[in-house]
Amino acid sequence: MSTLRRITNLFHRSKLDQEIEAELHAHIEMRTADNIAAGMSPEDARRDALLRFGNRTVLKERVTAADAHMFFDSLWQDLCYGLRMLRKSPGFTAVAVLTLALGIGANTALFSVVNGVLLNPLPYPHPDKVVTVASWFPEGGEGSVSYPDLVDWIRDSHTFSSLAGYKSFQSFTWARQSNAERVSAVQASYNFFSTLGVAPTLGRDFTPAEDQLGAAPSVILSAPFWKSKFASSPDVIGKAMNLNGTDYTIVGVLPSNFYFCCRNINFSPGDVYVPLSATKNPLFSDRKIHPGIYGVARIKEGVTLAQARADMAAIAHNLAVTYPDADKDRGVAVTPVKQEMVQGIEPFLLVLLAAVGFVLLIACVNVANLLLARSTGRAREFTIRAALGASQGRVVRQLLTEGILLAICGGALGLLVAAWGTSAGLSILPSTLPRAGDVRMDPRVLLFTLIISIVAGILFGLAPALKTSHPDLHETLKEGGRGASGARYRTQGIFVVVEMALAVVLLVGAGLTIRTLVELWSVNPGFDPHNVLSFEVGFPSALAGANVSPEQLRADLLQVTDKIAAVPGVQAVSLMNGAVPMSEEDDLTFWIDGTPKPATENSMPDALWYSVGPDYLKVMKIPLLRGRFIGPQDSGTSPGVCVIDETFARKYFGNHDPVGKRLDFNLIYKQLEIVGVVAHAKQFGLDENASAPLQAQMYTSTLQLPDQLMQAFFSSSGFIVRTAGSPDAFAGAVRSAVHDFNSKTVFFEPDTMDHVIAQSLAARRFTMMLFGVFATLALVLSSIGIYGVISYIAGQRTHEIGIRIALGARRADVLKIVLGQGVRLAVIGVAIGLIAAAGLTRLMTSILYGVSTTDPLTFAAVAILLTLVALLACYIPARRAMCVDPMVALRYE
Amino acid sequence: MARNDLQGSLDLLILKTLSQMGELHGYGIVLHIQRASDEQLSVEEGSLYPALHRMEQSGWIRSEWKLTDTNRKAKYYRMTAAGQKELRKAENSFEQLVKGVRAVLRYA
């Protein structure tokens, strides 16, 4: 009988009932008619017809019973029976369900993160068609495009339905009636939002005309900004916002779920968005300047990524031919936007997913062990059932049903664990994870949980099921329920070994991430990040637009610096622009005076460029190695000077003294004299190594920037301060000092250098913490596992131990026997685990630093730790066995 | 021997009836068996329908609602190819049963 039909019948049971009823009715009618024809009275005829059937309800039941008995009812029986069994041993059930809840919960939590970050589509229409477009530098990877190149890209590309540019990390001083505040801004092409497929919820998008040089300034607000500053008022459209002294008309408000973020090609959401091309920017006129502009594009329907790349490669080639000075050897990187977003985080998540899978495996092994131990107790039950004619399949199915039942209970509880764990995890490190907002329990996560629960249930239900499905009737019944055969111990022994091995792999993984972090924390960044506060100051002179003289700006900078320096507890203060260690990059190409000028921009040497004040070394505690640092005497009118770091000196001057040499520049500066050499300070994070693309560093004075650049750079300036104690305690005082200079200045983005460094390690710390949690879980679960097995085996051997003691075995011998059995299993497990770990940790190479994937210290420590824990776990049952009273043990029989 | 039980003979009777008569409703099957056995065998209505249902679920017979000669709605059964096979098997095992029983009876 087909199972499917039986199942459908079950669901259509009432329909089936009606059919049977109708059929019986027809039968009775026909019989009655025949009876009448044979001469009976109608009443007798009908009674006779009915009598022949007996009880009709019973008959109907008998007809349907043909189905129900066969499949679903027996499943229902299994379920009821399983539930009864679980209820009968609440301790076992609680331990099993809790174990599974932890295992499944951890998996669900991590999967919901993976699902949100890696699997879910981005909130744009046809997100797979959206790509980022950036310059490609053979030596440095993706980078910003110059404005003239962007214009050429837009004009010449054929494979995009639209291509838009954006420049992030801008900020404006917003003048309101009473005060001024700082707003972050993104300059974007008019078609930036339409390229992504996002439309303003209020008002309209930019028009092409608004994105022309000299167009009337317009602005689109982000939803959070609109909500907090305009109380979500719908009549902001058409109102003016005074940004940097110019009135911008508000034309639209973005949807609240607008999301765009890229790791490599900097994008940071702005409070406001303004057209890219509307305002004149001196940095936009030169093809050699890469002012932080990047592109985003939508590939035309029917065009592949490869075709788009080929198209852009051809354009890059043409540009290189036409403008060799600026564009020689430069390519274009076209990257799917999702790949851009999750880059860097993917290896961490995948390693963690593997780790958490191991935790679930250990949990399964543990529960399988419990079930196996219990099934030994139930061996008689199953043997009797088999003897009474239950098929093997029937018994296996019942055990599997019990297993899946347990797993689903565990999964349900695991969902709670996951919901709690995810929110706790995300609140610890909200900013490190791209798309953290997309992490939630959606149907896919629930489905995942259901599937892993069922798979887990089958996994651990199968072991005892297979074990008990071949019961040797004779043996089991004869043994009088002790059911202790060597083979069963072997299965449990294998479980313990597997569990130990899995735990070793996890612990080694956790150990390696911990060592990586310890290693990184002990790295000297080249500067002292403690008690350093960094912040930005927005200047009121910017409010007057471009009409402030460079002299005035320099004077303002000096005055603010003096005001901050006068704050009690401030030990040193410096301007900090251009590159910032561990967070922002900026570089400048140069060539050494006296050598021929390189033919193209791309063939020039390049150095990280820090634009600072005289006290920078004091703030950062970077040692001066030769000559002098920038001093107060280096003003806007004195000859230009610069200071280089030891890497720069070694790379470009070898053993010669660089002090007194000159550097020539194509951009920004003409010529600067090197006046000193300082130690190297790490720019690219604590894990920066010799292979980082850009190592040479150069310091110049912010006050010596050429006049025409002062205005472009300084609607605001960065500052950095060394404080006498915790920098956070001084932020308030510094803020009032800045306001003291002018009430319209804006103090914003305060941060501490310690925090910046911590942020640079956040992904690793996140991994380490999760790995730590998983490894601890593994350790606890596997020690419970080995404890359970050894106490079980010892319990089963009570009789034997009693005899041994009665025959004169010493208690110490008994201890040795039981302990030895456990330790042997543990050692085998640890050995296998170490071998497996040596193979698997290779997958972690990209997230480790300063520690080999087969770090002997970690491996040895894990091996010792786990063996000790196993020893401890076995000691308790071993002690119990040692104390067996032979009389009791024997009488028990 | 296990298959040669009474239920087996009912299945055999039903299948044989359908193979001879083509299409019949339950009542018709009862009448036919009664007639064909010279009133020697009478099928209990209480056993007939469970058997029919089980055989249908096993795919040996198929059913269809039709009108009788007297314009009454009734469920008509017809044999399937699987039913043919089953019939041959049932006939064989019945022959064996009869042979076996006869042999026992003749044993003296």
- Identify whether residues A90 and A151 lie together within a single domain: no
- Give chain A's domain count: 5
Token duo for residue A189: 């092409």
Measure CB to CB from residue A63 to each of B27, B50, B72 and give the nearest one.
Answer: B50
Binned at pLDDT 50, 70 and 90, residue A722 comes out as: very high
- Identify whether residues A817 and A862 lie together within a single domain: yes
Q: Among A269, A303, A329, where does a domain finish?
A: A329
Token duo for residue A601: 């921009």
- Identify whether residues A682 and A791 lie together within a single domain: no
Nearest to A525 by CA among A366, A679, A710: A679
- Res A389: pLDDT: 57
Say whether residue A47 is in contact with chain B using an 8 A CB cutoff.
no
Q: In this structure, is the dihedral angle defined by the CA atoms of residues A188, A190, A196 and A199, taken in order, positive or negative? A: positive
- Taking only the tens place, the pLDDT of each residue in A831-885 is 999 999 998 888 888 888 888 888 999 999 999 998 998 888 888 888 888 777 7
With contact defined as beta carbons under 8 Å apart, do A159 and A525 qualify?
no
Which residues have CB under 8 Å from A169's CB, separation 6+? A184, A266, A268, A292
Measure CB to CB from residue B53 to each of A29, A33, A66 and give the nearest one.
Answer: A66
The chain A residue lying nearest B49, using CA atoms, is: A63
State the helix-helix crossing angle for A486-521 and A762-796, rounded to 10 degrees.
Answer: 160
B25 with A27: Cβ contact below 8 A: yes
Distance of residue B9 Cα from the nearest chain A Cα, in angstroms: 18
Distance of residue A12 Cα from the nearest chain B Cα, in angstroms: 14
Binned at pLDDT 50, 70 and 90, residue A296 comes out as: very high
Is A195 inside a domain boundary?
A: yes
Is A535 inside a domain boundary?
A: no
- Identify whether residues A114 and A254 lie together within a single domain: no
Q: Which residues 36-95 of chain B have a CB within 8 Å of chain A?
A: 44-46, 49-50, 53-54, 57-59, 68, 70, 72-75
- Taking only the tens place, the pLDDT of each residue in A459-515 is 888 777 666 655 555 555 554 444 444 555 777 788 889 888 999 999 999 899 888
List the single best residue of A62, A64, A67, A70 to mutate versus B (max B Cβ within 10 A). A62
Whole-number Å distance between alpha carbons of B21 and B33: 11
A22 with B46: Cβ contact below 8 A: no
- Taking only the tens place, the pLDDT of each residue in A807-823 is 888 888 888 888 888 88
B70 with A19: Cβ contact below 8 A: no
Residues of chain B contacting A31 with CB distance shorter than 8 Å: 27
B49 with A65: Cβ contact below 8 A: no
Burial environment of residue A48 by CB neighbours within 10 A (0 to 12, 13 to 18, 19 or more) = middle
- Res A564: pLDDT: 94
Measure CB to CB from residue B53 to each of A2, A53, A63 and give the nearest one.
Answer: A63
Token duo for residue A603: 């063939």
- Taking only the tens place, the pLDDT of each residue in A660-689 is 999 999 888 899 999 999 999 988 888 777
* DSSP letters spanning A152-215: HHHHH--SEEEEEEEEEEEEEEEE-SS-EEEEEEEEE-TTHHHHHT---SEE-PPPGGGGSTTP
Residues of chain B contacting A9 with CB distance shorter than 8 Å: 57
Residues of chain B contacting A54 with CB distance shorter than 8 Å: 45-46
Instruction: Output A714 or B45, whichever has higher pLDDT.
Output: B45
Residues of chain B contacting A6 with CB distance shorter than 8 Å: 57
- Taking only the tens place, the pLDDT of each residue in A22-75 is 888 888 888 888 888 888 888 888 888 887 777 666 666 666 665 554 556 567
With contact defined as beta carbons under 8 Å apart, do A676 and A627 qualify?
yes
Nearest to A644 by CA among A673, A687, A602, A669: A673
Is A496 inside a domain boundary?
A: no
Say whether residue A24 is in contact with chain B using an 8 A CB cutoff.
yes
Helices (H) and strands (E) in chain B, counts: 4, 3
Say whether residue B25 is in contact with chain A using an 8 A CB cutoff.
yes
Q: Which residues 50-79 of chain A have a CB within 8 Å of chain B?
A: 52-54, 59, 62-67
Lowest-confidence region among A64-78, A115-129, A196-210:
A64-78
The chain B residue lying nearest A3, using CA atoms, is: B57
With contact defined as beta carbons under 8 Å apart, do A884 and A825 qualify?
no
Residues of chain B contacting A64 with CB distance shorter than 8 Å: 53
pTM of the model: 0.66
- Identify whether residues A584 and A723 lie together within a single domain: yes
Decide if pLDDT at A355 tops 90. no
- Identify whether residues A566 and A436 lie together within a single domain: no
The chain A residue lying nearest B60, using CA atoms, is: A1
Q: How far is CA A656 from CA A463, A661, A671, in A?
A: 74, 10, 20
Is A755 inside a domain boundary?
A: no
Say whether residue A21 is in contact with chain B using an 8 A CB cutoff.
no
Residues of chain B contacting A19 with CB distance shorter than 8 Å: 75
Q: Which residues 762-821 of chain A have a CB within 8 Å of chain B?
A: none
- Taking only the tens place, the pLDDT of each residue in A731-786 is 999 999 998 888 878 888 888 998 888 877 877 787 788 888 888 888 888 888 88
Say whether residue A473 is in contact with chain B using an 8 A CB cutoff.
no
B74 with A23: Cβ contact below 8 A: yes
Start-to-end C-alpha separation, chain B: 22
- Identify whether residues A288 and A169 lie together within a single domain: yes
Lowest-confidence region among A188-202, A621-635, B34-48:
B34-48
Highest mean pLDDT pick, A152-161, A802-811, A877-886, B91-100: A152-161
Is A736 inside a domain boundary?
A: yes
List the single best residue of B32, B45, B52, B56 to mutate versus A (max A Cβ within 10 A). B45
Token duo for residue A347: 């290896």
The CATH fold assigned to B6-103 is Arc Repressor Mutant, subunit A (1.10.10)
The chain B residue lying nearest A55, using CA atoms, is: B46
Domain limits of chain B? 6-103
Decide if pLDDT at A585 tops 80. no
Distance of residue A381 Cα from the nearest chain B Cα, in angstroms: 27
Measure CB to CB from residue A23 to each of B26, B44, B59 and give the nearest one.
Answer: B26
Q: What percent of chain A has pLDDT over 70?
A: 87
- Identify whether residues A169 and A315 lie together within a single domain: yes
User: Coil, helix or strand for A359?
Assistant: helix
B46 with A23: Cβ contact below 8 A: no
Cα–chain center distance at A600 = 41
Decide if pLDDT at A396 tops 80. no
Is A253 inside a domain boundary?
A: yes
With contact defined as beta carbons under 8 Å apart, do A259 and A337 qualify?
no
Read off the amino acid at residue A139: E
- Taking only the tens place, the pLDDT of each residue in A361-375 is 888 888 888 887 777
Which residues have CB under 8 Å from A38's CB, separation 6+? none
Distance of residue A336 Cα from the nearest chain B Cα, in angstroms: 56
A52 with B44: Cβ contact below 8 A: yes
Measure CB to CB from residue A24 to each of B49, B68, B73 and give the nearest one.
Answer: B49
Q: What is the four-CA torsion angle of A4, A8, A9, A15, rounded to 10 degrees?
A: -160
B46 with A53: Cβ contact below 8 A: yes
Measure CB to CB from residue B58 to each of A1, A30, A54 and give the nearest one.
Answer: A1
The chain B residue lying nearest A65, using CA atoms, is: B50
Say whether residue A9 is in contact with chain B using an 8 A CB cutoff.
yes
Pairing between strand A246-253 and A218-221? parallel
Say whether residue A12 is in contact with chain B using an 8 A CB cutoff.
no
- Identify whether residues A349 and A225 lie together within a single domain: no
A1 with B70: Cβ contact below 8 A: no
Measure CB to CB from residue A6 to each of B26, B49, B57 and give the nearest one.
Answer: B57
Is A752 inside a domain boundary?
A: no
In this prediction, residues A215-230 reach a mean pLDDT of 92
Question: In which domain, by residue range, is A631 found?
Answer: 540-744
Which residues have CB under 8 Å from A822's CB, separation 6+? A496, A786, A789, A790, A870, A871, A873, A874, A877, A878
The chain B residue lying nearest A54, using CA atoms, is: B46
Measure CB to CB from residue B57 to each of A5, A19, A26 and give the nearest one.
Answer: A5
- Identify whether residues A150 and A82 lie together within a single domain: no
Is A247 inside a domain boundary?
A: yes
A31 with B27: Cβ contact below 8 A: yes
**ipTM value:** 0.83
Whole-number Å distance between alpha carbons of B69 and B94: 34
- Identify whether residues A100 and A249 lie together within a single domain: no
- Res A61: pLDDT: 65
The chain B residue lying nearest A50, using CA atoms, is: B45
Measure CB to CB from residue A59 to each of B49, B54, B70 and give the nearest one.
Answer: B49
In this prediction, residues A398-407 reach a mean pLDDT of 84
- Identify whether residues A323 and A375 lie together within a single domain: no
B57 with A9: Cβ contact below 8 A: yes
B75 with A33: Cβ contact below 8 A: no
